[in-house]
């Protein structure tokens, strides 16, 4: 059994949940494994959160899928053999494609898939299916920050520096991030800094802050413009840095000029004194960082909000300086790698754009096809889901690593569209809410049963290692894609099922791209090398810190962005007088398909809740623990009331982990950011009222 760097026995791998990808050691424990933290991995330094400690329980959950399921003439899903299931799926895909064209079939991936799976899934969609209709749930997570970061810096990497660099900071601004709940091991790297937290709630992270800024939901962009205004007018602008390392400052400053502090206070509700303190703390610290999370990004103007925060960081001279910087706390386990290798509608492997002729030529050569055979960009995630089963939309959908019935905005609408499909195929290891709607369900491996690579929020490429064999009847996603591709007429060698072979091809496909993995090999990772992309050749040590000498634009300079504040697509008023915002709980992860099956986690957070201010609850006739109905223009959610003095009186908070009538996304709308196509998860208008007796 492999030895870790810390000297302990066990199979070294990584947690299956968030993008920290905490190091873990797995040891046999009957049909499962025992999980321990890997003290030698620098990101978590021997720590794990509650989810990481209990991750192995999902491996043996009672309802683990262990045989393919096909929906019969009676409307029920019934077990069948693998050959029967794959033959049926391939035949129906071929019929639909022949009758309606390649874009009549679609693919929806996930930010938790390994790099190898994300890569092969994109190749499968574009070659085996010939469709442009592929996107993934990472569009709901990081797309706004990716758009803003690429525009500003020329490349998108969540953290362009190692997590460990944060430990030396004097001040850190966290905009819309709650790592004390979403990624607890990160907090040990933040302990020495003055935290400035931007959040409408007094979260566990905000409770540790030196300054807590509580803007009204949807006003983060106005707040960021105000921070830049104060940095300039109060003499905090780093003039030499701006002149030598950036362009576009004057245009950005003209947009921030009208956002004097008193105006920002009127729009956001954040006091002028608090704004000044935040700027002073960041500007005075010898080492400082600005970090964003989903709270700033999941808006119809999320790209502009992140851009405005980048403007502020550039004005202070932070990005690219040793010990300071700007970054984004990527959410999903492989949220970084998942968007680099081709499962996003507009991208090819290596973070190449699918509309770039040179990118198409390079990838087509690796794949052995003509560039003209590659389809163009398809619909973004929500637009793809919303088009399912419509006259001009896909009639078949293959889902890997996602549960859009719970996770997508306008969840009732998306569920309706999934039901309208002629064929829905879901690869999963538990019967998720989406799998229960499928015509075919294919049981696949979990994290501890498979080999591959992941890329964490620092751009660090990691090895996922197999610690136990999967249950009989379960196959790896790569095997599934291989078998389907062959049945659809592709050469068997074009779709290898071995992860190491897939990664070798991924290396070639990424060569020369923004996310260049060509110098990374399994052998280097297995030998303990810490490799961050870009890593362009076998002798290259990787790039843990980007932008130290130049940014990734041709002129080497970062770009300020000229952005304007605008209201959210929906604001409170009339029948819906309150803001609703959504987010995560400590015990659960994403749609909850995994964590709701862990006894300890389910006991900690067993049902949907709505957090609200005591005064707001009293006006609605509600008390702690009461059952409430939360209603927007799109639907209603039933939830247990949880009172908190730490949330704004005009705002309620709902976690998005629960199914059925507890789905927070029954409330959310379909407004999209025009650049990133990110849905506006963080703001919708609602009312809250008691449930009547029939609904208790």
Measured CA to CA, the distance from residue 221 to residue 218 in angstroms comes to: 8
β-pair partners for 32: 29
CA distance 448 to 64: 14
Q: How many helices (H) and strands (E) does the chain have?
A: 22, 28
CA terminus-to-terminus distance, the chain: 53
Domain with CATH 3.30.200.210 in the chain: 11-60
- Mean pLDDT (10-residue bins), the chain, 696 residues: 47 97 96 95 96 97 98 97 98 98 98 97 98 96 95 97 97 98 97 97 97 98 98 98 98 98 98 98 98 96 98 98 96 91 96 97 98 98 98 98 97 98 98 98 98 98 97 97 98 98 98 97 97 96 98 98 97 97 96 96 97 98 98 98 97 97 97 97 98 60
Portions of the chain given CATH number 3.40.50.740 = 69-140+334-504
State the fold for domain 578-695.
Barwin-like endoglucanases (2.40.40)
* Cβ–Cβ < 8 Å for 289, 545: no
Helix (H, G, I), strand (E, B) or coil at 429: coil
User: Among 423, 431, 473, 418, which residue's Cα sits nearest to residue 449?
Assistant: 473
The residues, ordered by sequence, that sit 6+ positions from 129 with a Cβ below 8 Å of its Cβ are 93, 97, 102, 105, 107, 488
Integer-rounded Cα Rg, in Å, for the chain is 24
CA distance 253 to 246: 13
432, two tokens: 């998720």
Task: Report the topology of domain 143-329.
Answer: Dimethylsulfoxide Reductase; domain 2 (3.40.228)
For 294-352, write each residue's pLDDT tens digit. 999 999 999 999 999 999 999 999 999 999 999 999 889 899 999 999 999 999 999 99
SS3 356: coil
Two structure tokens written together for 651: 């705002």
pLDDT in tens, 457-496: 999 999 999 999 999 999 999 999 999 999 999 999 999 9
The encoded tokens of residue 264 equal 């920002």
pLDDT score of 696: 45
pLDDT for the residue numbered 693:
57
Q: What's the number of CA atoms in the CB half-sphere (13 Å) around residue 618?
A: 6
**Which of 9, 11, 10, 1 has its CA nearest to residue 463?**
11
The whole-number pLDDT of residue 132 equals 98
Domain 69-140+334-504 adopts which CATH fold?
A: Rossmann fold (3.40.50)
Q: Where are the beta strands (DSSP E) in 613-673?
A: 627-631, 636-643, 651-655
Q: Give CATH 2.40.40.20 domain extents, the chain.
A: 578-695
What pTM, to 2 d.p., does this model score? 0.96
How many whole angstroms separate alpha carbon 56 and alpha carbon 159?
A: 28
Average pLDDT, the chain: 96
- Cis peptide bond prior to 534, omega within 30° of 0: yes
- d(C-alpha 296, C-alpha 145), whole Å: 9
Tell me the C-alpha distance between 27 and 18, whole Å.
Answer: 21
How far, in Å, CA of 506 to CA of 523, rounded?
Answer: 15
In the chain, CATH 3.40.228.10 sits at 143-329
CB atoms within 10 A of CB 116: 30
User: Left if phi > 0, otherwise alpha if psi is -120 to 50, otherwise beta: which for 144?
Assistant: alpha
How is residue 436 annotated by DSSP? G
Q: Does domain 11-60 have CATH number 3.30.200.210?
A: yes
pLDDT of 108 reads: 98
For 83, other C-beta atoms within 10 Å of its C-beta total: 11
CA distances (Å), 624 to each of 394, 584, 618, 632, 658, in order? 45, 20, 10, 22, 20
How does pLDDT run across 380-435, given as a tens digit for each residue?
A: 999 999 999 999 999 999 999 999 999 999 999 999 999 999 999 999 999 999 99
pLDDT tens for each residue of 50-96: 999 999 999 999 999 999 999 999 999 999 999 999 999 999 999 99
Q: What is the pLDDT of residue 1?
A: 31
């Amino acid at each position: 059994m492999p030895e870790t760097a810390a000297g302990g026995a066990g199979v070294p791998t990584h947690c299956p949940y968030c993008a920290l990808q905490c190091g873990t050691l797995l040891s046999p424990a009957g049909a499962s494994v025992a999980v321990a933290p890997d003290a030698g991995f620098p990101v978590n330094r021997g720590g794990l959160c509650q989810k990481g400690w209990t991750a192995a329980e999902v491996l043996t959950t009672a309802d683990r899928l262990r045989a393919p399921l096909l929906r019969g003439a009676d409307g029920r899903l019934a077990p069948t053999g693998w050959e029967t299931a794959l033959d049926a799926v391939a035949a129906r895909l071929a019929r639909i494609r022949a009758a309606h064209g390649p874009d009549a079939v679609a693919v929806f991936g996930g930010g938790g898939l390994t790099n190898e799976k994300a890569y092969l899934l994109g190749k499968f969609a574009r070659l085996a299916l010939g469709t442009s209709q592929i996107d993934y749930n990472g569009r709901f997570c990081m797309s706004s920050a990716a758009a803003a970061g690429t525009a500003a810096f020329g490349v998108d990497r969540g953290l362009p520096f190692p997590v460990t660099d944060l430990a030396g900071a004097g001040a850190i601004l966290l905009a819309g991030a709650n790592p004390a709940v979403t990624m607890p091991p990160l907090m040990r790297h933040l302990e020495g800094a003055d935290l400035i937290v931007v959040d409408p709630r007094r979260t566990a992270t905000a409770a540790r802050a030196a300054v807590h800024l509580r803007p009204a939901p949807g006003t983060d962009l106005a707040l960021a413009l105000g921070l830049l205004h104060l940095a300039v007018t109060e003499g905090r602008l780093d003039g030499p840095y701006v002149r030598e390392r950036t362009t576009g400052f004057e245009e950005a400053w003209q947009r921030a000029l009208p956002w004097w502090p008193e105006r920002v206070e009127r729009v956001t509700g954040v006091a002028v004194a608090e704004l000044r303190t935040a700027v002073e703390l960041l500007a005075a610290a010898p080492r400082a960082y600005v970090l964003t999370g989903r709270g700033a990004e999941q808006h119809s103007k999320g790209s502009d909000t992140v851009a405005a925060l980048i403007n502020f960081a550039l004005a202070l001279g932070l990005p690219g300086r040793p010990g300071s910087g700007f970054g984004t706390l990527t959410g999903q386990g492989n949220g970084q790698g998942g968007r680099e290798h081709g499962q996003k509608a507009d991208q090819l492997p290596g973070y190449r754009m699918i509309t770039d002729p040179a990118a198409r030529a390079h990838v087509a050569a690796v794949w052995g096809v003509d560039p003209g055979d590659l389809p163009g960009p398809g619909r973004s995630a929500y637009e793809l889901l919303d088009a399912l089963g419509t006259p001009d939309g896909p009639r078949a959908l293959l889902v890997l690593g996602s549960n859009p019935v719970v996770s997508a905005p306008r969840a009732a609408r998306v569920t309706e569209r999934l039901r309208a499909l002629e064929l829905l195929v879901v690869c999963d290891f538990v019967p998720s809410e989406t799998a229960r709607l499928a015509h075919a369900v294919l049981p696949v491996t979990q994290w501890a049963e498979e080999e591959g690579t992941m890329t964490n929020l620092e751009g660090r490429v990691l090895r996922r290692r197999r610690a136990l064999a999967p249950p009989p009847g379960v196959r790896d996603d790569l095997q599934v894609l291989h078998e389907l591709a062959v049945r659809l007429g592709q050469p068997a060698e074009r779709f290898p099922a071995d992860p190491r072979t897939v990664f070798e091809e991924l290396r070639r496909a990424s060569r020369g791209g923004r996310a260049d993995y060509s110098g990374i090999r399994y052998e280097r990772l297995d030998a303990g090398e810490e490799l961050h992309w870009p890593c362009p050749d076998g002798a290259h040590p990787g790039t843990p810190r980007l932008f130290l000498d130049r940014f990734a634009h041709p002129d080497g300079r970062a770009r300020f962005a000229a952005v304007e504040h605008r209201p959210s697509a929906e604001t409170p008023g009339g029948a819906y007088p309150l803001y609703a915002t959504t987010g995560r709980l400590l015990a659960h992860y994403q749609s909850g398909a995994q964590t709701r099956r862990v006894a300890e986690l389910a006991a900690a957070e067993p049902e949907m809740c709505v957090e609200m201010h005591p005064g707001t609850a009293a006006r609605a006739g509600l008390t702690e623990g009461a059952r409430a109905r939360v209603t927007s223009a799109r639907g209603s959610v039933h939830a247990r009331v949880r009172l908190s003095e730490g949330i704004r009186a005009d705002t309620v908070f709902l976690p998005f982990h629960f199914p059925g009538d507890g789905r927070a996304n029954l409330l959310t709308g379909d407004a999209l950011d025009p650049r990133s196509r990110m849905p506006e998860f963080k703001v919708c208008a609602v009312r809250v009222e008691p449930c009547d007796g029939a609904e208790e």
